[in-house]
Every structure is written in C-alpha cells, then in structure tokens.
Chain A
Amino acid sequence: MFRSHVLVCGGTGCTSSGSAQIIESLEKEIKKHCLDKEVCVVKTGCHGLCALGPIVIVYPEGAFYSMVSVDDVPEIVAEHLVKGRIVTRLLYQETVKEDGFTPIVDTDFYRKQHRVALRNCGVINPENIEEYIGTRGYEALGKVLKEMTPDDVIQLILDSGLRGRGGAGFPTGLKWKFASGNRGNVQKYVCCNADEGDPGAFMDRSVLEGDPHVVLEAMTIAGYAIGASQGYIYVRAEYPIAVERLNIAIGQAREYGLLGKNIFDSGFDFDIELRLGAGAFVCGEETALMTSIEGNRGEPRPRPPFPAVKGLFESPTILNNVETWANIPQIILNGPEWFASMGTEKSKGTKVFALGGKINNTGLVEIPMGTTLRTVIEEIGGGIPNGKKFKAAQTGGPSGGCIPAEHFDVEIDYDNLIAIGSMMGSGGLIVMDEDNCMVDIAKFFLEFTVDESCGKCTPCRIGTKRMWEILDKITKGKGTLEDLDKLEELAYYIKDNALCGLGQTAPNPVLSTLRYFRDEYVAHVVDKKCPAGVCKDLLSFKIDPEKCKGCTKCAKNCPVGAISGEKKEAHEIDTSKCIKCGVCYDNCKFDAIYKV
C-alpha cells in the first residue's frame, strides 16, 4: 500500500512534451530517497488540460502541477514527497490560493464539466485492468450477462436516449435493435469506429489512451445484445499509444476471461481484434470502414442496404463511435433515467469536445448537452488569447460549419447546431478570432476534402475540386460576384449527388461561411481586400514613418531584402520585392508596420 500516488499524464500531448522522461526521473528520485515502498508513480491518460502539459498530480493532497520539466522532478520529490511541502511555483496557476491551493475540480476549467465518457481518463492506469475494475469496470457486463436478456439491454439503451457521438447522432438503441433479429442463427459483427479523421479532434484518442477497457466492455455488451461473437476496432495507425494500450487491454481481458469463450460462465462468447487504418478520412465513413476491414481499398458503398442488414462481410453489423461506447457501461450501471436526466430534450448526456485554435485552454472537455458555446469558450476554455475578439467556432470539422458570434449563446446539442447551419460532428471545436479570414478557413477545409475524396463518385471527386478552384480565385482577388452564385449552385449539387457522407457534407463549410460572412466574400471580390489581413495577394505591408525608430531590425530580418532605410530613420518597404511573409510585421517592437 502506498501513502502517496504520483499521477503523470501519459496521453499523446503530455508524452510529446516529455512525460515519459518525467516518469523515469520520478522513479529514480523516489528510489534515491528510499520512498519506493511509500510512493507510487502511475502513468494515466489525458486530464484534458493539454495546453499546460506535462501534468503531474500528487495525491492524497491533489496538488496539480503543470508544465513540469525533468529538472523540476528532484524538487517535487525532495520537497513534496519527502517533507510534505507543496511546490507552489509549479502548481497550476488557477489552483493557487493564499493559504495553499484549491482542488482542481474547483477551477474554471473543470467546474462546469461533467465527466462520463472521460471519467477514468487521467485517474486510472490504463494498462492495468484491475484499476479499471476498481472503478466498477466490467460490472455492467456482469450485470448484463447475469441479469438481463438481450432485449432488455436494447430497451435500456433506447430508454436512455443515447445518440451516436461519431457525427450523425443516430439513436444507438435503435441501431442495435435493427441488427438484433435472428440471434444465434447468423454471423454478426460489432465494430468500433476509432478512425477519428476530423482535423483537430482527439476525443476518441484520449478515451482509448486513458480508458481502453471501457470500449472492450461496451462492445461485449453490444455483442450480447445483438447476438454477435466477434468485434473489430478500426483504429488509425497514427495513434500508436492508443493501439499499444488497446493491445494490452485486449490481452488482459482475455487473461481474466472477460473476452473469449463462456464469459462469466454465461455461455456467451465474444472476442475483439484490432484493424489498423492508414489514416484516410473516408475510412471513418461506415461503409468505407467496413470495406477496409474486409481488406479492400477503403471506398464507400451505397446505402441501403444499411450495415445493420448487410454490413461487414455481408453480415448484420453495428458500428459505433468510441465515445458512444464509453457511455454504455455507465448507462447500464446507473440506469437510463440517470443518463436521460443530463442534457436537453432530444440530446441526452454529455459530449466531449477537443478545443483548439484561438483559445487559452487548448484541450479536452466534457460538458452536459445544452451548455452554451459561451460557457465552453469563455469559462471552460479560458477565453481567447491576447484580448482578441471571438469571430466564430467551427464544429463538425470539414463536414460541419461555423457558429458566428451572433449565436454565441446557442445551447449546444444536435438539433440546435443543425438549425444554425453547423453540426455537432464528432467533437472538434476550433475557435477563430478577428484575425482569421473566413474565406481562407472555408478554403482550408475544402482543400482537406479535395485531398481526402476517395474518387469513387464524380460529384465529390471533381465537384469539390471545382469549388476549391473558385475559392482560390477569390482569395487571390480574381473572383467575381457570379462566382459566389456558382459556388452555391455547385455546393447544393454536390450535397445532393455525392455517394457518401464525405461528399454530401463537404460543401458545408463554404455554405455556412457564405451564410454568416458573405460580406467577407464580397470584400474579397469587389473591394479586392481581405478584411482579416490573411490572404496575401490582397494585402501589402507598410511602415508608418511616425512610429518607425529606424532600429533596422526589419531590414535585417527581411528574407528578400525588400526593406531599406538609414539607421535611426524611417524605413520603407519595396512592395515589388515584398513576398508578404510577415516577418517584419511580427517582429517590429514599435508596432510601426501595418497591413493594408
């Protein structure tokens, strides 16, 4: 038994900023002070505050240390672990109080969160099945196999109101029900979508890294509910930590008899295998994903038939998203009423979002459905850096749309977001401020879909490319007002005619920016100006002779020698040479350089 636990985040964010070395050094220092029988070091999953990593938490005090470096380790051990003195300088600033510190759960970042899918992330060691069991892991599976019929399970999920977290928001219980006929007589499959292709999203990765067993347990429950004996997790190979922990988890679950034959002596068999994806966005689409698992090139196929009827290897199949799975055991243990008590009328429970872009607390948050965008950005996310103004937030990634400032108070749920032209998506939430050009953003997302289009259907393969070309023209100041109409016409045509969700949703970022920021498009087309000062062809850099002190810094930094001037006298930019890289603008100490 240990008197103190030192938790170190082993998620991808903290790992890339050196948490593995911190663990190594902690173990060494702890040994040096002969504390290795008293203090244990636990590698956990993600705590969410990725912007402040690497994160180290010391219990029982609950001291939350942020941005820890290997050099800080000897002090943490000698001061905190040996003498019981908190190392205040390393505490997460928000927790510091005059006479000590507040628990992390009382900070702005955590206070309004509600962790269901992420409940174990950052709390347990994901590589130890017994820690998962210690937080009631596999209890739901035991309950289902011992006390419930398969139909009871489906009814319970239906009653909870859970909807898929992968993007479309389809009722999970209904999906299971469609696949539940003819149990015992046909081969069926249960799949987990861990492809997570939305740029900037890392919700699913964090669940897999922080709590892999929850996915295994939930898939086994679903296998029992629909009568399947085999599961597949389709996870992208670019998530090596997630893959490693899933492999460890599957091995341990088999060893403990929680996967395999005759689970809990109930006569029910279930096993799970991993399939690694190569990282194509389209492989997150359900039919393409199944085609890829079958060993073929990841291309979608027409629906119907729906996977519940004819899915993987032509057999009835259910596919759910990682976060959807992460909710299942909790719903079974706490009851559907508990789950349905959170959220809004038609969107129950919580949703995990990956906050990125122009926001202070870049990271992972889980909020009850119905929380306003304002709360997420201003309170939980800590607002926008450098006092800039909020312009819009993109949800749903390349399939979604933007939410402008006028809808800052929208209560986030499936239906409200659709109503304002965006969508929930899988949970990527990218914040944009006044320095972002919305035409450029639309172009960015379209570039992504052009790249990721599998090429099987013409509207998507050629249509998105044509749209991108028009956007490119506009950002170069060569667009016309007719182009805007053409853009819209193409957008609707592609939406109606593309084969799969990728093409059907690809025009959304363009349509939503046209809806809310048409004036920015018009400024590019008519005035040949980029109001945010992003599109390089439409702006030039100038030096204000009043402010310029002649320090010569800009002239020295300019990579093309476009700036000239005598020392201590106002400088000048030769616009014919300038390549608009912005180095002078970013580095002028006197704010003398401006964009026009």
Chain B
Amino acid sequence: MKSLEELKAIREKMQGQVGFRDEGDDGIRVVVGMATCGIAAGARPVLTTLSDKVQEKGLDKVKVVQTGCIGLCKYEPIVEVIEPGKEKVTYVHMTPDKAIEIIDKHLVRGQVVSEYTLDMK
C-alpha cells in the first residue's frame, strides 16, 4: 500500500463490517420473524437479503434482527420496520425481491411501501 486512497478503500470496505457491532438502539430496527412458520415460508433468504443490502448500502442506523413467531403465521414471512417515534410498519408475504424494494423505498427514502403492508391484505 502506497497511498491514502488505498487505505481509504480498505476502510470503506471494512467500515460496514466493524460498524455492524454497534451498541446503540436508537436507529431503525428491521425485524424478521424467524420461527418455524417463518422459516418454512421462506424467511431466511429474506433475512439475509435485508442484512446484506443494508450493509452494502452502509445504512448504519439500520439494524436487521430476527425474532420468534410474530403470531400471524399465515402471513409469513413477516418483516416489521420499527422506527423510534413512528408507528410500526408490518410487511407480509415477503420475498427477497420485495425486501430490496423496501430497503430502497422505505429505509433509504422513507416511503412506506403500502402495497405489501398487513392492513392492505
């Protein structure tokens, strides 16, 4: 390595990975239901897609976490977006593609993708 640019490139590549180990709980939480029902309905690829994309885009205020059964098994895979001071948004019948849409629209631009939310079903 001979230049600051090279150092910066490594830093940017690694920042997401190390920043991932952040203690704060003041940001947005994206919660994926990962009980047996969720996993059976395909929640795992949804979870990994969400987690990967959030890190790729460097959304360091967003945490993608899993939870147990949310209690609406027939709507699985379910993803909840919980933002401090705002009402919880529940997305249902998620797929990896829909998840990417939610990241781009909801998490980046702040627009709820209402066609996938629970109250639309």
Contacts and interface: CB of A to CB of B under 8 A. Distances in A.
B15 interface: yes
Interface in A204-259: 256-258
> Of residues B14, B21, B32, which shows the largest number of chain A Cβ atoms within 10 Å of its Cβ?
B21
B3 A134 contact: no
B56 A1 contact: yes
Nearest to B43: A84
Contact of B20 (A38, A59, A103, A104): A59
A256 B32 contact: no
A105 interface: yes
B67 A84 contact: yes
Contacts of B10: 130, 133-134
A377 B16 CA distance: 36
B25 A62 contact: yes
B121 interface: no
Interface string A127-140: 00011011110110
Contacts of B56: 1
B3 A139 contact: no
A134 B17 contact: yes
Interface stretch (B58-66, B86-94, B96-104, B107-115): B58-66
Nearest to B2: A265
A131 B21 CA distance: 12
Chain A interface bracket (under 10, 10 to 19, 20 to 34, 35 or more): 35 or more
A60 B68 contact: no
Contacts of A105: 23-24
B81 interface: no
A204 B10 CA distance: 28
B24 A135 contact: no
A130 B35 CA distance: 35
B17 A83 contact: no
Contacts of B33: 84
Given A60-B64, A83-B35, A123-B21, A3 B13 contact: no
A7 interface: yes
Contacts of B7: 133, 138-139, 142
Interface string A1-44: 11111010000000000000000000000000000011000000
A124 interface: yes
B120 interface: no
21 contacts: A3-B52, A3-B64, A5-B17, A38-B51, A57-B21, A59-B20, A59-B21, A60-B64, A62-B25, A83-B66, A123-B18, A131-B14, A134-B10, A134-B15, A134-B17, A134-B19, A138-B7, A264-B1, A264-B3, A264-B4, A265-B3
Interface of A: 1-5, 7, 37-38, 57, 59-62, 82-85, 103-105, 123-124, 130-131, 133-136, 138-139, 142, 146, 256-258, 262, 264-265
Interface of B: 1-4, 7, 10-11, 13-25, 32-36, 39, 44, 47-48, 50-52, 55-56, 63-68
